[in-house]
Structure 1
Amino acid sequence: MSYTGDVTHGGPPAVRELDRLTVTKLSVGPMDNNAYLLRCRDTGAQVLIDAANEAPRLLDLIGDAGLTSVVTTHRHMDHWVALEEVVAKTGAPALVHADDAEGLPIAAQTLTDGDTVAVGDQTLEVIHVRGHTPGSVALLYRDPAGTPHLFTGDSLFPGGVGNTDRDPERFGQLIDDVEQKLFGRLPDDTWFYPGHGADSTLGAERASLPQWRARGW
């Protein structure tokens, strides 16, 4: 079956085979978080984005290949409940933006805007997107054989940006960063994978940016 990005809590993962990278999306509970396992098809190296919950399911997904690293997109607890156990079982370093490092339950290596994370011989670019939390990041994979792929955590969803608790300053930061650093840099066919729920493309959402800004959330 072709990849749609539709997963349900307790259901099977969705697998997308790119030319050089395999993306596996799994929903874990109880808040229907998305965890993403990226595997380099040439080397077998793997990176996990958001060890959100249900460590046994994540470890089963990871298998014997282990992990190169675990990236946490932001410091909210629902995105790292399984982090300590996954790191303990795999020995993989935990990575998080410096501004969110204090919110994690274990010591982590810190990231900053423009850093890269290796997935075997492929790379993810770290994009700092402020507002949902001070250190939220999106991770960009520029597929050499196709469209860009963007893992947005809770900063961008189909239908709007992430929650900023109706704080005008935080919302301004988030909508500005999403508009400038994501929509302003990447083409419409960029596929994005959020921290909860369904995927989308930047092209499907771009026309709604003025509406999001006007409504203030």
Structure 2
Amino acid sequence: MTYSGAVKVGGAADVHELADLMISKVAVGPMNNNAYLLRCRATGEQLLVDAANEAETLLSLIGDDGIASVVTTHRHGDHWEALRAVVDATGARTYAGRHDAEGIPVATDVLVDDGDTVTVGRVTLTARHLVGHTPGSIALIYDDPHGHPHVFTGDCLFPGGVGNTWGDPEAFARLLGDVETKLFDTLPDETWVYPGHGNDTSLGAERPHLAEWRERGW
């Protein structure tokens, strides 16, 4: 089946099968958060992006193979509500952006800085620090050697705009600037975007609207 990235709370996961990596996307309530399970096809090692909520749903997705690590994209509670339960059940190593870790009430084993790498089996992800939605949000980029890049953006980039900055023009300018310079300026239009809520998109679909976003201020 073709991957669409359209999932709903209580529904099945959607699986994006790449040459070296399998990406399973599931939605959890009550805020329609996305969680992503990454599995290295060569080794079977798994990594979870955002233990958002519904620990039972996430542990069912993870299965008997467990996970080696879980990355929290940012400090907001709807992205770590199930983190303690998932870590307790799996013993996973925890990762978060250095400047957001203090806001996550589960100890962070590895503090992530801009440009750091996170591995899952033989697959390498590159973290980019994006400021504005929170002080220490991170996006994870997988530059697929067999195709186009894939980026997990947390709440920093969605279809139709960047993440919420609550009317703060300085925070908005910083977030849009980081998203432009660290994602749009360095990655091609084909880059697949996996956001923290809702449907997926691509950089190419969003690129024509950057000036519009800057003009409207959100």
Q: Same fold (TM over 0.5)?
A: yes
> What code does the residue aligned with 2:20 have?
R
Partner SS, residue 193 of structure 1: strand
1:211, CA displacement in angstroms? 0.2
After superposition, the C-alpha distances for 1:125-170 in whole angstroms (9 at most, x for unaligned) are 0000110000001000011101100000000000000000010110
- What are the ranges of 5 or more consecutive residues in structure 1 without an aligned counterpart? none
Aligned twin of 2:57 = 57
CA distance in 2 between partners of 1:137 and 1:173 (Å): 14
1:21, CA displacement in angstroms? 0.1
Partner SS, residue 48 of structure 1: strand
1:192, CA displacement in angstroms? 0.4
Aligned twin of 2:74 = 74
Alignment of 1:1-217 (within 5 A): 1-108=1-108, 109-217=110-218
For the aligned residues, what is the CA RMSD? 0.5
> What code does the residue aligned with 2:161 have?
G
1:115, CA displacement in angstroms? 0.6
How many residues get paired? 217
- What are the ranges of 5 or more consecutive residues in structure 2 without an aligned counterpart? none
CA distance in 2 between partners of 1:112 and 1:35 (Å): 22
CA distance in 1 between partners of 2:37 and 2:97 (Å): 19
TM-score of the two chains, using structure 1 as the length reference: 0.99
TM-score of the two chains, using structure 2 as the length reference: 0.99
1:93, CA displacement in angstroms? 1.2
Identity percentage of aligned residues: 62
CA distance in 2 between partners of 1:72 and 1:138 (Å): 10
After superposition, the C-alpha distances for 1:90-144 in whole angstroms (9 at most, x for unaligned) are 0011110110011111110211001111010001000001100000010000111
Partner SS, residue 53 of structure 1: coil
Q: Which runs of 4+ in 1 moved over 2 A?
A: none
